[in-house]
Structure 1
Amino acid sequence: MQILIQLRWIAVLGQVATISVVHFGFGISLPLEYMLGVLGCLVAFNITSHLRIRIRREITNAEIFVALLIDVAMLTTQLYLSGGASNPFVFLYLLQVILAAVLLESWTTWTMVGITAACFAGLAMFGQPLALPLAHDQGLASPYLQGMLICFGLNAALLVSFITRISKNLRARDNRLADLRQRAAEEEHIVRMGLLASGAAHELGTPLATLAVILGDWGHMKAFTSDPELRQELDEMQAQVLRCKSIVSGILLSAGEARGEAPVETTVRNFLDDLVVEWRTTRPANTLLYDNRFGQDMRIVSDSALKQMICNVLDNALEASPRWVRIDATRDGQDLIIDVTDDGPGFPTEMLDRLGKPYQSSKGRPGSGLGLFLVVNVARTLGGSVAARNRPQGGAVVTLTLPLAAVALETEEDVDGD
């Protein structure tokens, strides 16, 4: 409908120019008061159509059909007043038929063909020809041939413009549908992974509990209590078992959910500070540099999925660069920007092109590549994005962009930092 409105404005300007040239330039008498009245009706209808789509965006086939019928009626009236079927602009009927073929359903398209043919026949029967020199030996000096040339150019230009616009809209729709199908497939993949993770977590609960009991019994045995080195290793084993149990509990809490089921009220600074402290205590990271330049703090709601998303990126960076990892937090308008930088080998070019696709990894292990896949999908669910690039001096940077509105406790109200 928007395209029809644009074409109709072009038609109004074209008719004003044509009537002026024919009447005042060629000296051919035209019933100006009636033709300008028809133009006024066309302008009023176009304004009404514009207001209609501003009130409600959905347009039905019947509405487009009625709009094209009114265009045909206006064109027929103007042709009747300016020579009938002998008017060279009678071929503008073809434009109406082509528009109907592109925009309307099959039965309304054929109805439009019949209506335009009937209008053409009616003009031939009842129209009064204008006194135009039709001799072809005058070449382009003949007003009739000049009119046909202008009509041809107008038809061609409008058709190219219209078909190009429609083709662009169709390509955009196809791309959007392809993205939706891809997203649906990825979300189905995540659901399957969540089910598998939940099942694995239940299965791991029993052996982890058994290990915890055995390690507790070992802690009272003389062989371990009398040997400080063995006691230290036993304590480390118990800590790792507790960590495994905590991970399993987290999986059972949020498996299959884009956001966890245990949201916690906090602030951006506290959330990131606590996350970094927890990550440092549970990973064998020699060096983690942390720079929080978020600015004025604000209250948010955090959950396990949000925390795990950032931890996944840090884990990948640590695996690629065991000696140096850096995390920077900044604010860009209404977005939280988190940059995770490492000093590793960087991403292969083909991975940068397919970032976030499942099983895209340079590690060469079965099942690898799921970390970034989950990170991208969680960020997308929150309305954010994930980008990656290689640094010229080596290593890579993964940038998480998260809209604060998606996690804010109070979207507009910030609080002072502690």
Structure 2
Amino acid sequence: MARAPVIDETSRVQLRTLVLIRWVAIVGQMATLLVVHYGLGFGLPLMAAILTVLGSVGINLAAQFGGGSRRISEKGAAGYLAFDILQLAVLLYLTGGLGNPFAFLLLAPVAISATVLSLRSTIILSALALIAITVLSIVHLPLPGSGVLPELPRIYLLGVWTALAIGILFFAAYTWRVAQAARALSDGLFATQQALGREQRLSAMGAIAAAAAHELGSPLGTIAVISRELSRDLSEDSPISEDVLLLRAEIDRCRDILAALAHNPEGDDSPFSAVPVSMVVETAAMRHQIEQISMVFDTGPLVTGQTLEEPSIRSAPEIIHGIGSLVQNAVQFAKTRVTISTAWSVENLNVSIIDDGPGFSPFILDRIGEPYISLRMSKDGHMGLGIFIAQTLLARTGAEVSFRNQQGGGAFVTIRWSRAKIENFKVQ
């Protein structure tokens, strides 16, 4: 199966989106400044505030006319949002700091970052926002209307700072987690669609092959008739009689090939297409072997002492990739050893993958296989996507995948097929 292209995290953000959001912010900022200064009559450093907004206008115009429809890099998007935080912080400094009721807008760039950027960028922007509200709680110009309105108590400003800090951290964590789940689901569906697309293309090729076999049958029949006529008209001592006999033999061979192709257009009846199941399992597993973890293979009938011929199955990409993903997960979390057991009976074929790692969290055992569920915390982060794809691909071969923990610790994954079904499974 062709590998799905890796979606670059730096290309998820379109500059046009950030430009549009900033235009909305600019209009809102300018309208608020004018209403407060002229409509309500509250004095504020209008010129400095307008210059701050115009600085944002200038950068937005440069971005819009410099390629507003293109994708922006991760670093560029983070810098863009960092400027928004700093620009809003300057406006808040000029208009009363945390006493300004619009201070909550500092949450917006953090929420946007958590939605479309990486965790690292979101952490950096969250830290910048926390620094901004901390500085604004200490240093700022008086709130417009301070001569008319009562001065805000320090305990209230401390409460505002606390609320904003909690809001920044909560928005960053919660929004990033939800967005990451959506991205994982999207990537999982994309990978599954790639597998389905491959199946559809191969099915279409099979249909074309069957049609070609049907169409070639007619001219081949004509050639066969002519060759028989030639063979009948030629004497046995004719110098070309042997050639005509060879021609008829080759025509019969072509007929057999076309008949087989029409009957099975997928063309998987080669004697080499079905191999012992242990060979398929080892092929899938050995791709993920690492030096630090020993990989042990155990093969034999399900009932000890029973004599049963080992099943032969087709080395389908769905089986190779599905088993490989589960083995990769086991290797990643194992301490020293991964055991892969292949057992069969008259009715069933089982492949078990056992590791000596920490096992699965009991809280998510019933939900394993959903693309946004992390099986076990890893250095690389989220493992739910690989299991989701593995289950999806193996399910197409008729397999049932189950997960549990061993009593002595470690994970135990079982792939179970109906023997008759997997032995007759055709690569699609």
Q: TM-score, normalised by structure 2?
A: 0.39
Structure with the greater alpha carbon radius of gyration: 1
Q: TM-score, normalised by structure 1?
A: 0.40
